[in-house]
Amino acid sequence: MMDTYQRSTSKAILFVVAIFSLLLGRLFWLQVLDFQQLGSVSSSASIRRIWQLPPRGRMKDRNGLVMIDNRPLYSVKLIPSEFKSSRTASLAWLIKVPENEIAELIAEGARYNRFSALTLKRDLGAEDAARLSENIWKLPGVIIAAEHKRKYADSLYGAHMFGYLRSISPKQYEQLKEEGYARDDKIGFSGLERQYESHLKGIKGTRLEMVTPLGRYAGRYDEGKSDIPATRGDDLSLSIDMELQKLAGKLLTATGKSGAVIAIDPQTGGILALQSAPDFDLEVFNGATDPAGWKAIRSNPDKPLFNRTVQAVYPPGSIYKMVLATAALEENTIDPEKKVLDNGVFRFGNRQYLSHRGEGHGLVNMQEAITVSSNVYFYSLIFDVGFTAWTKYGAVFGFGSKTGIDLPGERSGLLPSAEYYNRRYGKGRWTKGNLVSLAIGQGELGTTPIQLATYVAAIANRGTLHQPHIVEGYHDTKTGIYVPFNYRQHRLPLQPETLDLLRASMADVVLKGTGTLAQVPGVAVCGKTGTAQNPHGKDHAWFIAYAPAENPKIALTVLVENAGYGGSVAAPIAGRLIRQYLKPPIPEQPAPAVPATADTLAEAPPFTAPPLAPTQTDSSRAIPTPPEREQNDQ
Q: Which residue did the predictor score with more confidence, 353 or 356?
A: 353
Least confident of 429-433, 534-538, 618-622: 618-622
pLDDT at 618: 34
580-614 pLDDT per residue, tens:
999 988 654 444 444 443 333 333 333 333 333 33
Least confident of 11-20, 140-149, 262-271, 319-328: 11-20
* Residue 552 phi, psi (nearest 5): -60, 135
pLDDT tier for residue 500 given thresholds of 50, 70 and 90: very high
234-243 pLDDT per residue, tens:
999 999 999 9
Give the mean model confidence (pLDDT) for residues 154-158.
Answer: 92
pLDDT at 568: 82
What is the Cβ-side half-sphere exposure of residue 195, based on CA atoms within 13 angstroms?
18
pLDDT at 601: 38
Distance (Å, whole) CA 237 – CA 58: 9
pLDDT at 607: 34
At 268, is the secondary structure helix, strand, or coil? coil
- Determine the topology of domain 253-279+309-629 in CATH: Beta-lactamase (3.40.710)
204-254 pLDDT per residue, tens:
888 787 777 666 666 677 777 788 888 999 999 999 999 999 999 999 999
pTM summary value? 0.81
Least confident of 30-44, 215-229, 328-342, 441-455: 30-44
Pick from 330, 319, 315, 438: nearest CA to 370? 319
Q: Residue 464, Cβ neighbours under 10 Å: how many?
A: 16
Q: Are strands 471-475 and 540-547 parallel, antiparallel or unpaired?
A: unpaired
pLDDT at 7: 61
Percent of the chain with pLDDT over 90: 53
pLDDT at 18: 66
Domain 48-238 CATH (choose: 3.40.50.720, 3.30.450.20, 3.90.1310.10, 3.30.230.10): 3.90.1310.10
pLDDT at 598: 36
- Give Cα 398 distance to the centre of its chain: 20
Strand order across the 205-211 sheet? 47-52, 205-211, 217-220
Please check whether residue 88 is in contact with residue 138, taking contact to mean a CB–CB distance below 8 angstroms. no
Angle at 462 between CA 460 and CA 465, to 5 degrees: 80
pLDDT at 2: 53
295-304 pLDDT per residue, tens:
999 999 999 9
Distances (CA, A) of 24 to 11, 298, 520: 20, 74, 99
The verdict on whether omega for the bond into residue 548 sits within 30 degrees of 0, i.e. cis, is yes
Domain ranges in the chain are 48-238, 253-279+309-629
